[in-house]
Chain A
Amino acid sequence: DQQVKQNSPSLSVQEGRISILNCDYTNSMFDYFLWYKKYPAEGPTFLISISSIKDKNEDGRFTVFLNKSAKHLSLHIVPSQPGDSAVYFCAAAVGTDKLIFGTGTRLQVFP
């Protein structure tokens, strides 16, 4: 039972363009969402988060959008840079319960 789904295993984007990574969830009780970025053979690093009381959170080139009615979360990266090439995981939690991670989307940014 995959409560957090990232249906696109990979995404390829040209440098300078927008990257949009998507995440769907099934548990309407989730109230906190995070995105992590992971390079090969390294641990994930926190990127950005959003609480369910908001529908948008922005941090530099990264913006997360939350659509609660659709149970959908997206991460926008603009402009995309080659250094953004990595695997991106979304994660969700209910209150102080443990995080549930998606399966990840591999982003490749090409020149």
Chain B
Amino acid sequence: DGGITQSPKYLFRKEGQNVTLSCEQNLNHDAMYWYRQDPGQGLRLIYYSQIVNDFQKGDIAEGYSVSREKKESFPLTVTSAQKNPTAFYLCASSPRTGNEKLFFGSGTQLSVL
């Protein structure tokens, strides 16, 4: 089955700790995205990548970092600089960047201890 896999489903972060959220896709999509969802807010774009070894900041990139070493993988690191990391994080992919419909993973809920 083709799709996007996010792990873990739940993650807890201690103060000052960096944590990494995994996102893997086997859809052979070029573009991948990270969104953050907070209660009462829409999906906000953190980072996106159009091609391997290239990525761009979204609207709320501060305190986050990404890498795109392989086409199928786009991990997101939430650094200690992100002061309000508690949120539901969604990874998505599309065949190419643009207004193609996005395919989303099932999300990771990150909470701060």
Contact = CB atoms under 8 A, between A and B. Distances in A.
Interface string B1-22: 0001010010000000000000
Interface in A39-90: 41-46, 49, 89
Contact of A98 (B48, B104, B105): B48
Main secondary structure of the interface of A (DSSP, over half): loop
Contact of A44 (B98, B99, B104, B109): B104
Contact of A101 (B43, B97, B101, B106): B43
Contact of A43 (B41, B42, B99, B106): B106
Interface residues of A, number: 26
Interface string B80-92: 0000000010111
Contacts of B4: 43
B107 interface: yes
A89 B92 CA distance: 15
B45 interface: yes
A16 interface: no
Interface of A: 2, 4, 6, 9, 32, 34, 36, 41-46, 49, 89, 93, 95-104
